[in-house]
Chain A
Amino acid sequence: MDYFWTFLIGGVICLIGQILIDTTKLTPPRILVIFVVAGALFTGLGLYQPLVELGKNGATVPLPGFGYLLAKGAMDAVREDGFMGALTGGIKNSAAGIAAAITFGYIVALIFTPKSIR
């Protein structure tokens, strides 16, 4: 059953993205920004946590999950450290992913050369 909800929720979030790509003039970078901000806002309003509990990776792997990680980190850190937590929590909670993406991405970009599209 967990697999079903993971598939369904992950699929629906990607479906919304595809509909935005097809029916609006939004470019993919704007869509990425909208998804991350939406994920953070829904988390702030307490609406995303239930989705994560039900859909597991279906809710955390798509980009709103990145927003969720940031907002949840900020809120958890505020609870522990007070005001400073608002500044440190978000990045702390997503640091591993960001650091890996930057380091590995840079290495890959240096090793490979772009292929011409056939």
Chain B
Amino acid sequence: MFSNEKAKSYEQYVSQFTPKPKYFYNAVKAFVIGGLICMAAYYVQSILIEKGMGKGDAGTIVTILLICTAQLLTGFGWFDSIAKFAGGGVIVPITGFANSMVSPAMEFKKEGLVLGAGSKLFTIAGPVLVWGISTSVVIGIIYWLLTK
């Protein structure tokens, strides 16, 4: 009985010092930064289309630019600082996927070029590709069954 009370009072005491996640502030940051990245992508894509590039190609180039930028920033060690601030704003766009490939590969390259960097490139990208590609195949087959 006594120890139970003591535990409770200790819990209250601790909760005074535990920082509460700033849900609202984090959400606003993710919203604004994520939105800005998409807007920047749209801006660059519009310029490419204006210069006579096809819509599909322009979209692909913009995606590749985003991927390469995020991977370079990861190489310089800046992406983590940005992600600490922006959270979902840079993790949810394709930049987060690009970062998730480089950072474990860089970390584990001392284990070799094949089983180190080569395999760790897919620590997180692997599951994403497995799930994404499998889902697309299943959807394709269902679509084939429905339309044949």
Q: In terms of DSSP, what is the predominant structure of the interface of chain B?
A: helix
B144 contacts A82, CB within 8 Å?
A: yes
Q: In terms of DSSP, what is the predominant structure of the interface of chain A?
A: helix
Q: How many residues of chain A get a CB closer than 8 Å to chain B's CBs?
A: 77
B77 contacts A104, CB within 8 Å?
A: no
User: Which A residues touch B143, using CB under 8 A?
Assistant: 44, 74-75, 78, 86
Interface residues of A in 84-103 (CB under 8 A from B): 85-87, 89-91, 96-98, 100-102
How far is it, in angstroms, between the C-alpha of A29 and the C-alpha of B124 when the chains are bound? 6
Interface residues of A in 25-66 (CB under 8 A from B): 28-29, 31-33, 35-37, 40-41, 43-44, 55-58, 60-63, 65-66
Interface residues of B (CB under 8 A from A): 21, 23, 26-27, 29-39, 41-43, 45, 59-60, 62-64, 66-68, 71-72, 74-77, 80, 87-89, 91-94, 96-98, 100-103, 105-107, 109, 113, 117-118, 121, 124-125, 127-129, 131-133, 135-137, 139-144, 147-148
Interface residues of A (CB under 8 A from B): 2-3, 6-23, 28-29, 31-33, 35-37, 40-41, 43-44, 55-58, 60-63, 65-67, 70-71, 73-75, 77-79, 82-83, 85-87, 89-91, 96-98, 100-102, 104-106, 108-115, 117
